[in-house]
C-alpha cells in the first residue's frame, strides 16, 4: 500500500435545503433543523406527497452570468455554486502550471428533469422547431462536470457518474483512485440533483417510496423510527476538493481529513429493494475497511444511507451488525437525511462533506425525529441532538437502485 499516494480533503461546498453554502448547511445540521416544507417549485396539489426539501432562495445569477442561466438545468447551477464554495474553501487555484493535473468528477442520478419536462411540453404544444438549442447540453448528466471544468480551467480527468443514489459516493471514490494512481493531483468531486419536478416527485409517489406525512413535513423524514413511512426527496449539491497530501501541504492548504478507504459492490438482487440479509451493504463496508487496512472496531462514526424507508433502514442496521459485531452498539451512527432529505445522486457528495466536517470539528450531527425508536434498529443514532465526540475514523455509506453500493472511509488528519 505504500506506493499509493495519500489523499486528503481540503475543501467542502454544500448547497441544501438547510442553506446555500457549507456554513449555513452545517449550522442547520447542528441545530437539528428540518429542511422539509410544502413544495413551491410547482403545483403539487394532485400529488400524494406534497412536500420536499427544496433549496429556497437560490438565484442562479449569483453564480452564473445571466446569458448562461438558460444553458443550464437547475442541477448544473447547484453544481457550479457548490464547486465555487468548495474551491474558495480550499484555496485551490487552477492555472497554467497545474491545470492538467486538476480534474472534475461530478455526477447526478437523474440529471435535468425540469429541462426535459419543459422541452417536452414545448414539443407537444409548438412542435420540434421550438425546442431550445440548449436542451441537450442543459439536461445531460456530464454537463455539471463540463461547466465546472470550463469555469475553473481544470484540464485533468473530466467525468461523471450516474449510479442512482450512490452516484456521488462513486464520484468521490473514483477521484480518490485517480489521485492515488498519480493521474491527478487534485479533483473537484461530488454530485448534484434537482429532481423536485412534477414528473420526478410523481414517479417516486407511484413507487410509494415517499413519505405522505403532508400534515407535518418537518416530521416526515425519521430514519430508524418505528413510525417512518418513506423518504423525503431533497435537492442540492455536495462537492469536495480532494488532493494528494504533499500537493496540499506545499500550498499550505487546510486539511479536513484523510481519505483512507473506498469500496464498491452490487446486490445483484432487485431493481430497487436491498437484499433482505444486507449482503451488498455488508460486502461494500468490508471492502472499504480492507482497502484501509482497518479493523471494524476502530470506526467511531458512520454517516449512514438511512433514507427513512421501512425496509431500507432495517436492512442497513442488519448490515452494520454483521460488519461491526458488538461494536455496532458502541459507535455512533446518524442519518443527516432526516434534515436535508434524500438528495438522490447528490446524497453521497453532501454526506462526504458532512462527514469531513464531523471529523474536523469533532461533532456528530443528529438523526432528528427519532421519537419512537424502532426496536429492530437498536443502534446509537445520535437521536435528535448533535453531540461532541472524540472521533478518529468515520465511514459514509451510499446505496442505490439497481443494487449499486459505495462506501468511503475517512481518518482525522494528524500531521
Active site residues: 165, 305, 342
CA trace torsion 376, 382, 383, 385 (10° rounding): 180
Nearest alpha-carbon partner for 182 in 247, 258, 256: 247
Q: Distance (Å, rounded) from C-alpha 337 to C-alpha 365?
A: 11
Tally Cβ neighbours within 10 Å of residue 313.
25
Residue located via cell numbers 487534485: 186
Burial of 62 (0-12, 13-18, 19+ CB in 10 A): exposed
Interacting residues of 251 by C-beta distance below 8 A, sequence separation 6+: 91, 92
How far are the Cα atoms of 216, 230, 301, 369, 384 from residue 225, in angstroms, in the given order? 15, 11, 19, 7, 11
- For the record, the C-alpha cell of 107 comes out as 455526477
Instruction: Check if the beta carbon of residue 396 is closer than 8 Å to that of residue 260.
Output: no
Amino acid at each position: 500500500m505504500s506506493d499509493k499516494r495519500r489523499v486528503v480533503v481540503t475543501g467542502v461546498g454544500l448547497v441544501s435545503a438547510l442553506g446555500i453554502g457549507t456554513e449555513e448547511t452545517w449550522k442547520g445540521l447542528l441545530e437539528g433543523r428540518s429542511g422539509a416544507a410544502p413544495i413551491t417549485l410547482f403545483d403539487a396539489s394532485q400529488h400524494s406527497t406534497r412536500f420536499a426539501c427544496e433549496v429556497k432562495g437560490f438565484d442562479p445569477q449569483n453564480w452564473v452570468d445571466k446569458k448562461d442561466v438558460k444553458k443550464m438545468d437547475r442541477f448544473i447551477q447547484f453544481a457550479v455554486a457548490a464547486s465555487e464554495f468548495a474551491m474558495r474553501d480550499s484555496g485551490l487555484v487552477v492555472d497554467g502550471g497545474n491545470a492538467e493535473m486538476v480534474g472534475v468528477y461530478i455526477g447526478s442520478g437523474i440529471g435535468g428533469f425540469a429541462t426535459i419536462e419543459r422541452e417536452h411540453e414545448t414539443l407537444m404544444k409548438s412542435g420540434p422547431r421550438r425546442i431550445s438549442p440548449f436542451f441537450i447540453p442543459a439536461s445531460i448528466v456530464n454537463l455539471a462536470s463540463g461547466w465546472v471544468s470550463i469555469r475553473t480551467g481544470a484540464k485533468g480527468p473530466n467525468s461523471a457518474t450516474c449510479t442512482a443514489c450512490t452516484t456521488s459516493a462513486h464520484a468521490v471514490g473514483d477521484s480518490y483512485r485517480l489521485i492515488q494512481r498519480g493521474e491527478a493531483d487534485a479533483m473537484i468531486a461530488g454530485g448534484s440533483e434537482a429532481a423536485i419536478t412534477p414528473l420526478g416527485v410523481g414517479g417516486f409517489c407511484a413507487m410509494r417510496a415517499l413519505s405522505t406525512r403532508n400534515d407535518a413535513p418537518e416530521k416526515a423524514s425519521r430514519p430508524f423510527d418505528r413510525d417512518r413511512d418513506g423518504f423525503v426527496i431533497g435537492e442540492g449539491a455536495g462537492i469536495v476538493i480532494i488532493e494528494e497530501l504533499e500537493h496540499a501541504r506545499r500550498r499550505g492548504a487546510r486539511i479536513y481529513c484523510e481519505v483512507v478507504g473506498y469500496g464498491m459492490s452490487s446486490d445483484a438482487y432487485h431493481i430497487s429493494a436491498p437484499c433482505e440479509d444486507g449482503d451488498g451493504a455488508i460486502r461494500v463496508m468490508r471492502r472499504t475497511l480492507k482497502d484501509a487496512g482497518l479493523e471494524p472496531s476502530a470506526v467511531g462514526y458512520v454517516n449512514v444511507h438511512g433514507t427513512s424507508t421501512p425496509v431500507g433502514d432495517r436492512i442497513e442496521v442488519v448490515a452494520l451488525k454483521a460488519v461491526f459485531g458488538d461494536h455496532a452498539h458502541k459507535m455512533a451512527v446518524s442519518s443527516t437525511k432526516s434534515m436535508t432529505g434524500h438528495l438522490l445522486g447528490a446524497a453521497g457528495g453532501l454526506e462526504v462533506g458532512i462527514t469531513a466536517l464531523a471529523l474536523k470539528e469533532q461533532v456528530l450531527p443528529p438523526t432528528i425525529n427519532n421519537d419512537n425508536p424502532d426496536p429492530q434498529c437498536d443502534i446509537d443514532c445520535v437521536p435528535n441532538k448533535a453531540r461532541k465526540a472524540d472521533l478518529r475514523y468515520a465511514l459514509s455509506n451510499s446505496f442505490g437502485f439497481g443494487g449499486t453500493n459505495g462506501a468511503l472511509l475517512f481518518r482525522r488528519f494528524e500531521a
